[in-house]
Every structure is written in C-alpha cells, then in structure tokens.
Amino acid sequence: RRFTELDEAAMWTGMWRGLRQSAALARPRLPALLPNTTAASARAFSAASAQRTIKLPHNLEGVLTEFRASKTLSKTSKGTPELMKARVQNVLLLCSDYDSYTFEEDGMLGELMHTEYSQHNLRKPPKIERVTSVGHAMEQLEKEKYDLVVSLLRTQGETLKLESFVNEVVKRDPKIPILLLALNPSELLSLDSRVDESMRVNVHKRLRYEELSQVADKTPAAAEGGVLASAWLWPFLWQGNLSLFTAMFKAVEDRLNAYDDVKQGAQVIILVEDNVKFYSQFLPTVYNELIKQSAALEDEHMSQTERMNRMQSRPKVMLCTNYEEAMDIYSRYKQETMAIITDVAFSRNGTWDATAGIDFIQDVKAERPELDVVVQSSEELMREKAEALGAAFIHKDSPSLTLELRDFFRRTLLFGPIRFYNNSNQVLAEANNITSLMRVYANLPEDVIDRVGRTNMLSKWFRARAEPALAKHFRSSIYPDDFHDFKAQGFDSERDMLRHWVITSMFSLRNRLTGAVSDAQVSDDMTPIVRVGKGSLGGKGRGFRLLHNLMDTFELRYSLPGVELRVPQSLILATDVFDRFIESNDLLAPITRTTSDAQIEQLFEVAALPADAMDALKQYAERVTSPVAVRSSSLFEDAFQQPFAGVYQSYMLHNQVPTKQERVATLASAVKRVYASVFSLEARRYAEASRLQVTDEKMAVIIQEIAGREHAPGVFGPSLAGVANAIDFYPRPNTTTDDGCASMTVGFGASVVDGHSAVNWSLGDPTVTTGKPSDFMVLHLPSEAGVSAMGSILADTTLAKYPVEKAHEMGLLKTVPGAAPVHPLVELQTRDAHGQKVVFTRRTHPATKPDPSPPALSELGIEQAVRGDALPLNQALSFFLQLGSTALACPVELEFAVNLRKQPHENHELSILQIRPMPQLISDSKSTKALRFTYLPSTQQAAVTSRAALGHGRFTGITDIVYVPPDAFSAETSEQIAAEIGQINSALRRSGKKYLLVGPGRWGTADKSRGIPVSWSQIDSSQMIVESSLPSHQAVPPSQGAHFFQNIMSFGLGYMTVDDRKGSEGEEAVDYAWLDTLDKVPSDKPLKYVKHVRVEEELEVVCDGLSRRGVIMKPGKDFDTYIAQIDAMMAITAESGSL
C-alpha cells in the first residue's frame, strides 16, 4: 500500500513512542489462553499447575487433587472394576431334534430363555446355537468362540461317547466348561462313569479354571483320572424346570467371577451337595431367590449405574461336591461367606464320608459362630446334630423342601422386606427399601430399638441388598457400649442416640445411591433433590445435582473454618411434566395465535398441571412455609456455548398466605408462568438467533427455599449475594486470569446479574476493589394483618429496591463479631460405611436452644467481607470454581449468597445457588492464535481502541454503525434510546445486515443510570458491541457476571469496554466526532437520540483475546500496516533488549 509522508511520519512517531514505553507495552505478562470445551484445553485448564495467585488450605487442595485424579463423584464406585466380567453369552447346545422338544416349545429355546431373562430383569440372554451331531459341534467350535457347551447324552441317531467327545472339545478349547444334561437318572448312570448309583458325583475343579481364566495362554494341567477328571465337566438332571438353564449359566458365571468380584464386596453362598438330582433341584430355587432379591432393588431409588452395580454384585453361589473343595472355597472367601447350605454325607479324601458335612460345619462354626447355616439331609436323625451346631435343618424328602429353602433366605438371611416384631411376635412394621426403613425406624418403640440394636438384623438386611460396607458398619458397632456418652452428644438416652445414628447412616447411603435425586413418593425433608416426572432436570437442575454430589462425596459442608457451605434442597418438576402439561391442555396451537406475552400467560394460567405435579406441590406446601424461589431450568439453559442466561422467568414468593390451598395455588401459578416464558417473544427471538426451535425447548422447574433470613420485621433476603467467574477477563497487574473474579452486592444477587452496580474484585487480590453498590433488593414479608388471599402472583414476586444506606437500618450486614465455631454445637460427627463423615443434622436432631439474651451485633462492611474479615469467602469461591471447572471440563460461573451469623453458636453460611459453563471465547485455530498485538494506535487510524476487548480474530461484514452520542444519554432517555435501537435492529435484521453498536455505559443493564437497558431482541443483529465511559466521566466496570454479558459472549459477538476519559494517544478511545461525519442511513421513523450511519468499505475489526486489545480501524487505515508491523517491531526490539 502506498501512503503519504504524513502517514509515514505518524506511523514511525507512534512506533518509537511505543518503544520508549516498552516496559509497559512490549509483551507484558499476558493472561493464559481462555479454555474452550475441547478435551485438550479442558485438561490444560483443570491442571493443578494453572497460574493462580490465591492459595487454598491443604484440605481443599487435597480434594481438588483427589477429584482431578479420580474423574468421578461416587466414592462407592470410584475406580471399581467391572463386576461380572465373565459372562455366558454364546452357548453351543448339542442334542437331537427329538430331545430338544423335551424342553422346547416348537423348537424355540432361545425365545423361552429370552422370556425367562426378561421376567427376572436379567441382562441379555445368551445366544444358543443348536447342533445335532458331534461332528457338527466340532466344526462350530473351530469356527466360533463359545463360552459354554451343553450336551445331552444322546445326539442325532447315536449315543454320545463321553470321553471321546470331551477329549475332542478340550482339544479345541481347553478351558471351556462342558455341562452334561441327562433327561432321566438311568441315562446319566449309563453314560457318565463318575456318577454312582446314588446319583452322587465328585467334581473338584477349584482354582484350576477360575484362576486360569485370568491368563489367556495357559491351559489346565492334566489331572489324575484322564480327560474326564481334568476337564470342567458338570452333570445335571433335567426335571422339567426351564429355570435350570438359567441356574446352570449363572453357576458357571459365578465360578469364573467370584475370584474378582469378592474383592469388590460381593458375598458368597456355599452349596455343598454331591447328588446330581438334588443340586439340579436346589440351584434353580437358590438363583430364583437371588434374582428376586436383585429385582427388589427396583423399589430402591438409586442411579442406574448404582442399580446395575448392585444387581451384578449379588451373592455368588459356589457349588461344591466334596469336603476338600468346600473347605478350599470357605478358606478363600471366609469373611465374604454369608451362608452355607450343605449336605451331611459326601466325599472326603476320595471316599464317601457319612459325617463330612457335620465336620465341615463344626470347623466353620468354630471360627464364625454367627454364620447362617442350613443342613439338609434325608436322615431325620441329623436334625438334632445340626441344631446342636446352631444350624437350621431341612429334610431332603420333605414335600415342602423348596418352600423351606425359600423361608431360610427370607427369614434368616433377610432377603425381601425387613420386619419388626413386638414382644408377642406380632409384626409391628415392615420396610421394602431404605427410604421406608428410615421412616419405620424413626417411629419404632424404644424397646424394639433396644432389641434390634443388640442383634445383627440391620447388618444382615443391608448385606442381602449388596451393601456389605454398611452391613459391616452396623455389625461393628456394639450397642449399648458405644453409646454411653449420649448426654455429652445432646441425646436423651442410648436408644435415642442409636436411632439417630442409624437413620443418618442410612440417609448418607441413600443420597449416594440416588446421586442426590429421589422421586417425590420416597422423599423426605432430608432429600437433597426431589424429582417429579421423567426426563431431564434441565440446566440448573443438572448443576444442583452436581453440586450436591460434590458436597456429599468430599464432605465439604464444614471444610472451611467459620462457614457452613450449603446447596439448597430442591423440588424439581422434570421436563416430562412440561411436555404433559402442554399436551394435555392442547396448548401448542393456541400459542401460535398469540401476539403478546400477556396472552400466553393468560392461556397458561387457566390450564391444569398434571396430577403428580399438583400432588408434589401439595406435599411441598405442607412442609415448607418459608419464602421460596420458583426457577426455570430448561434444556437450553446453562448449556455449553448457548447458556440462555436470564431469558426465562423465575419468581420469588414470600409463601406467607394463610392456608395450604393458597400456597399450592401460588406455587402452581408460578410454575405455569415459568412454562409460559418458554414461548415469550424474547425467548423466541433468542432461540432463532441461536438457530434453535422454541418447540424443541423443554422446561424443568426448580422450587427451593430461598437462601436468606428475616433480618428485620418483614425484611427477608441474604446478607450478601453475587456472581463468581473462574476466568477474570480483566486481571489486575498483580493477578492472573486463572485467579477468577467476583461481583457482589447487599441483599439479593438479582441486581448483579441484571447489571446494577456492585463491588468487583479479583479473587487473587481481595484488597483492591472497584465499584460499589448504589442500591440493594430484599423480599418483603407481609405482616399477619397484611396477609390476604393470593390475588395476583405478581404482587407476591416483586423484590423491593432500596438505597444501599438502608442496609444498616435493616440489619442485613449486622453480625456477631469474632470467630465462629468450627461446627455447630448440635452436630455429632461419625463415619459412615464408606469412611465418610456422617453428620447428625438439625433435621434429625433437636437444635440447641439459643441464648435468651440477644447477642451484641456489629456492622460488617462489604469490603471487609471481600477481604475475608468475617469468613474465608475468596478461598471458598475459588475452591468451588476450580472444582466445578474440573467437573464440567470448562470454566464455570457461580451464583452465591451469604448469610452472616446472628447468634454466637452459628456459622456464617455460604450457599451456592447455581453453576453454569462460561462461554468459549477463543478458537484453537492457528490463524487466530497468530493474531496477537498489544500496540494501540491513535484516533487518526482507529475509530475505537480498547484494552478490555473480548473475542478473538477478525469480525467481518460490518458496514453499518449504530451509536448513541454521549451527550444524548441520561437515565431519563435510556429507555427511549433502547426502543430506537430496537427499531434500527429490526430493520437491519430484515435486510440480513450485521452492525457495530457503540454507546456510553453498560449495555443490557437494568440500572438506567449506568447504561442502556436493551433486551437481547433489540440488538440481536449486532456483531460488535462497544461500551464507553459515561458522560459524567464515570468509568463503568466491565460486565462479567451479568446474564446479558453471558449471552452476548455465547453468540460469539465481539465486546469492547473503552475507558476514554483521558483521550490521549496510546490510550483507549471512541472517536465519536468521526462517527458524526459519516453518512446517515434514512429511517422509517424519526430517531431522536440514536444515530445510524454507514461506510462504503467493510470496517476492519480485530480483537486479541490474549492481550485483551481491540481495534476498529478507520477506512483506508489497514490493521497490518498501522498495528501489526509496528507491534512486531516493538516485540523484536524488546526481546533484543535495545531501544
């Protein structure tokens, strides 16, 4: 490009002036590259080596290290290998066509097995391939991999030669189990030489196959007695029960998996029986009880992963046929053995022994006298010997053999419901799951609590439900010895302390199982999240589930001194309720005919919520009478890169109407208005801009108690509230981008997210703050005389705004001076089954009575709270930001509230009210990474220069400029300005044009004195947004926590904040005088305050997301010549160390 001497002189003058200031301009310490949601950048962001100024306590650093290493939120499943790794999935069945009809209907055994597995809620049934000859079987074994061979002893047209058949099979697969299925006893006796006339068999294969299954290249060593002794060869007798196939398959799986699964907590049932007929009858009954017990977990509320883990960790049945094998199994799984079922007579040392079973039980009982054992024999004389050893007895020839075995599982091993009896042996109560047990146990008479506490009843029941850790937890406690200090712990008796200890332990388990979510039918006032309906919990709901899991998994509630960390309990109407509401009221068609938000609200107000949602609201209104928030939680809300922040409605309800019916009606009305906001004009416009269909949106609704308190009569809210960001887009000289930042105000944080004034600071340096609140918001509670019927819901949802000076009078910042207690006095700590801290909360233990004399309170300044004078606020926020960013694999933003303590025995409270991903700002492409600069030219070359720009790269296609001259702005004119901008925006949207938007103050703020209160629909065609200083020469702090800011960032809009109060060269500037010289674009309606101009050439708009520099070049002044070349030379000169 050719340029004049004046241009050249100006360029070199500017360059050398910049070099003289190289200490400040030449490659200063730059913020780290902003992470996006790619895996590499997520790992880089969450790495422990991130550059942060703030230091966390060792315990919180340990939590971060543990979480980053574990990549999981469940301590019960952390690092747990897969259970039931070995599965019977492919079976080769050898039998004749004729014999197959004995146990098939129309030859469809596969379909029957599918039905059998489905009825028992088992995984996919094995595929069964049937062949009719030994030759065909060998061909299949060579072509395909099978997990199991089942052979009848007769094949098509010939009798099976067992030894030859087995020898051919093991040549092809030495480790494959072979199950022989005889259709009658005589057939088995004639063909299997190992079975004697009494149908007894001696099969000893312990560890020969199970351990070798872990080693792919090893085969079993040959055993004495030939191939029939060395092969895995099990005989079974068909007795007309299709469940025998399931039992055979499961018996093989248990043998292969027990070695690994018991290490993960699986229990073992040893079945010692050498009679083929009896174990073929016993095994289906045993497995039927085990499968029923697994199916009972359907009544338990837990995550699908936990449910699958527990179904897979059912007890393993070890079938043994001789004394040595039984002792070997018991010796290896001694502590994991939950029961033994044994015959009396079987082989010992290769010889049949009439008392081998009695001797076996004597040896076992000597070590574990509490172990449940049942002896089964055809000799009645053995009953007395069995009972003398503390074992139950079942007669093998009893017509009720199966029923007695089932009774053993249910009454002795406590499979099924748990029942509590009175002194007359009458059932007082029973429970089918943990939630019902908590309720039952809470109301048991003290004598029953005492009696149950002296037994292993609870331990057995939890062991049967695949919770060995909690079973051991209860079994290891000694009642009443461990509960003698009940008075010191604030309880009335050992029984009272035992009751609360048991309930709290069960509550801790249940929350881990559910992932903090339970259905309304099984919830109580301790449930973190109560779900109504199916479908998603929405964006906010997912965040709350994450936060509750983090709190529970890492014991965070009292992890910092003097502050209680909290996450609100929530009732969530899942997206399925929204779908049913729209469908059952046939609302989609009428919505399309509405022309205003008021019409949509009226349409929704008269519609009926689903019955289950109304039932849940009634239960909630019965329990909760304090102020509540009814919050939107849609699928699009808080999503990566499309957060929809602040687009939908939420309501604050004082919830003080006189009757339950009115509270329910108010809640229902608020829910319906949240639903209506999905179809508001603003939401539709936002969805269109996001290239989404509003009809694809699904809305969940969160109802939760507001994190606040009554500070003065009728004045409710938090003491402080605000927003914290993991990334500080505008770091101070002594802080880093990774330190994060926060904005906070007095009262509700709505003023922060709506763009009102607040105190702002870097978490890395809380001693330096900018800005201060000018007003604050609280919720007014009506006096008793003022409480009336519901009336309009809008009257129940308005936050009152006051000047910040009134905060002192209302007592929001008054607190008890001095250090708060480490823990509330009412808390009793112990450890649960997984080694986690169990806390007796106020909900399960009577609260300590406050001191009748009111404590002396002192005023806490908001800057003091920022500095950490009262509570470690910066450390807590930084910790949650780092933890949440690791969990979401991207930077996050938090909304929080602080309640200062009002009593000496209280802690301050910090509640995390929302977590959401921050938008991605920088691409990983090579072209954008190369676009870096720090030099800013004068207004001779640039229309706008900024040191606080967001976005990265070139913003192209802009020829239109919409701007507000600073002298046209005032608090009185700001709304009219917003309307005029919306008018221009609509016209440009229709023509498909993008534009540059420039004006004084903050865009999108609700505070009309600080900027222009545009909505998203009024600026949705803009491509770059510029904020300059106010006409009063007041610099507005850059917006980081406002919903408006989040949304413009998610759309990839450029954003520049310009402090143009000095106006000298090298500083930031907006050349409004130059804008005034441009040609105006004609408007359909006259514009009083806003100007719309157009340039012939595209504006060159460039942002460097690392240095935060941004420029908008004037036509004819290209970026490469006037900035890039100068910046490169400055960098080279600075690196060489010469000027």
Residues 968-1026: pLDDT tens digits?
999 999 999 999 999 999 999 899 899 999 999 888 888 888 889 988 788 888 999 99
Lowest mean pLDDT among 512-516, 760-764, 946-950, 992-996: 512-516
Neighbours of 591 (CB within 10 A): 17
Res. 212 pLDDT band, cuts 50 70 90: very low
Report the C-alpha gap between 822 and 799 in whole angstroms. 34
Burial group, residue 1135, by CB count within 10 angstroms (0-12, 13-18, 19+): exposed
pLDDT tens-digit readout, 458-514 = 999 998 888 887 888 888 888 999 898 888 777 889 999 999 888 878 876 766 665
User: 3-state class of 279 per DSSP?
Assistant: helix
Q: How does pLDDT run across 268-278, given as a tens digit for each residue?
A: 999 999 999 99
pLDDT for 572 beyond 80: yes
pLDDT greater than 80 at residue 78: no
Whether pLDDT at 180 is above 50: yes
Contact 710, 778 (CB under 8 A): no
Neighbours of 1113 (CB within 10 A): 22
Percent of the chain with pLDDT over 70: 76
Q: Quick one: angle between helices 457-464 and 468-476, nearest 10? A: 170
pLDDT for the residue numbered 473? 85
Q: d(Cα 75, Cα 84) in Å, to the nearest integer?
A: 20
Cα distance between residue 116 and residue 538, in whole Å: 37
What does pLDDT average to over the chain?
A: 80
Comparing C-alpha atoms, which of 30, 50, 32, 39 is closest to residue 881?
A: 50
According to DSSP, the residues that pair with 585 across neighbouring strands are: none
Instruction: Place 50 in a pLDDT band, splitting at 50, 70 and 90.
Output: low
**Winning range, highest mean pLDDT, from 19-23, 43-47, 246-250, 821-825:** 246-250
| Best mean pLDDT range from 158-167, 401-410, 851-860 | 401-410
Q: Which residue has the higher pLDDT, 380 or 952?
A: 380
Which residues, including other chains, have CB under 8 Å from residue 79's CB and lie 6 or more apart? 70, 72
pLDDT-based confidence at residue 694 (cuts at 50, 70, 90):
low
**What mean pLDDT comes out for the span 794-798?**
50
Sign of CA dihedral 120, 125, 126, 127: positive
* pLDDT the model gives residue 849: 45
The bridge status of strand 699-705 relative to strand 570-573 is: antiparallel
Predicted local distance difference test score (pLDDT) of residue 227: 66
Q: Pick the residue with more confidence: 627 or 953?
A: 627
Mean pLDDT of 942-965: 90
User: What share of the chain in percent tops pLDDT 90?
Assistant: 41
Sign of the Cα torsion 333, 339, 344, 345 reads negative
The answer for 680, left when phi > 0, alpha when psi is -120 to 50, beta otherwise, is beta
Looking from the CA of 1029 toward its CB, the CA atoms found within 13 Å total 16
> What is the maximum span of the chain, computed from C-alpha positions, in angstroms?
121
Cα–Cα distance for residue pair 797/785, rounded to 1 Å: 19
The per-residue pLDDT for 477 is 86
Give counts: helices (H), strands (E), the chain: 39, 51
Evaluate if residue 925 carries a pLDDT over 80. no
Tokens of 1106: 């690392």
In this structure, what is the dihedral angle of CA atoms 543, 556, 878, 550, given to the nearest 10 degrees?
-30
Q: pLDDT tens digit string along 868-894?
A: 988 999 999 999 999 999 988 888 999
Q: Are 701 and 537 in contact (CB under 8 A)?
A: no
Write down the pLDDT at residue 348: 93
Measured in whole angstroms, the distance separating CA 281 from the mean position of its chain's CA atoms is 45
Residues 6+ apart with CB under 8 A from 44: 33, 35
pLDDT confidence of residue 120:
52
The residues near 963 (Cβ < 8 Å, ≥ 6 apart) are: 996, 997, 998, 999, 1072, 1075, 1090, 1091, 1093
Instruction: Round to whole Å and give the CA distance between 22 and 24.
Output: 5
Residue 54 identity:
I
Q: Where are the alpha helices (DSSP H) in 38-133?
A: 39-46, 58-70, 97-100, 109-119
pLDDT at position 824 over 70: no
Place of tokens 């004045």: 715
Angle at 433 between CA 432 and CA 438, to 5 degrees: 110
Mean pLDDT of 1027-1056: 70
Alpha helices for 477-610 (secondary structure H): 494-514, 538-553, 575-584, 588-592, 597-605
Strand ranges, E, within 585-726: 628-634, 651-653, 699-705, 709-712, 715-717, 720-725
pLDDT digits (tens, 9 = 90+) for 1127-1139: 888 877 766 654 4
Q: Pick from 208, 347, 378, 372: which is nearest to 272 by CA? A: 347
Q: With b meaning 16 or more CB within 10 Å and e meaning fewer, what string describes 22-34? A: beebbeeebbebb
Residue 313 has pLDDT above 50, yes or no: yes
CB 1054 within 8 A of CB 955: yes
Of 103-107, 820-824, 837-841, 1065-1069, give the range with the top mean pLDDT: 1065-1069
Please answer whether residues 1019 and 1025 qualify as being in contact, where contact means their C-beta atoms are separated by less than 8 angstroms. Answer: yes
- The length of the chain, given as a count of residues: 1139
Angle at the Cα of 1041 (from 35 to 575), degrees rounded to 5?
85
Q: Note whether 724 and 842 are within 8 A (CB).
A: no
How far is CA 1105 from each of CA 288, 741, 946, 958, 1054, rounded to the nearest angstrom?
A: 64, 17, 12, 20, 10
**What pLDDT shows up at residue 510?**
67
**CB neighbours of 169 closer than 8 A, spacing ≥ 6?**
137, 138, 141, 149, 176, 178, 231
Residue 745's H or E segment, with its range, is strand 741-746
Pairing assessment for the beta strands 1069-1070 and 942-946 based on DSSP bridges: antiparallel
| Residue 35 pLDDT | 33
pLDDT tens digits along 1074-1109: 999 999 999 988 999 999 999 999 999 998 877 788
- HEC states along 523-557? CCCCCCEEEECCCCCHHHHHHHHHHHHHHHHCCCC
- Identify which of 531-540, 615-624, 633-642, 1063-1072 has the greatest average pLDDT: 615-624
- The torsion angles phi and psi of 925, rounded to 5 degrees, stand at -65, 150
Instruction: Tell me the pLDDT tens digit for each residue of 367-424.
Output: 999 999 999 999 999 999 999 999 999 999 898 988 999 999 999 999 989 999 998 9
Asked if residue 836 has pLDDT above 70, the reply is no
As to burial, measured by CB atoms within 10 angstroms (0-12 exposed, 13-18 middle, 19+ buried), residue 1088 is: exposed
Q: Which of 197-206, 705-714, 764-773 has the lowest mean pLDDT?
A: 197-206
In single-letter form, the type of residue at position 644 comes to F
pLDDT exceeds cutoff 60 at 839: no
**pTM of the model as a whole:** 0.66
Rounded CA gap, 868 and 870, in Å? 5
Here the tokens at position 173 are 């697969």
For residue 613, the Cα-to-chain-centroid distance in whole angstroms is 23
Mean pLDDT of 844-864: 68
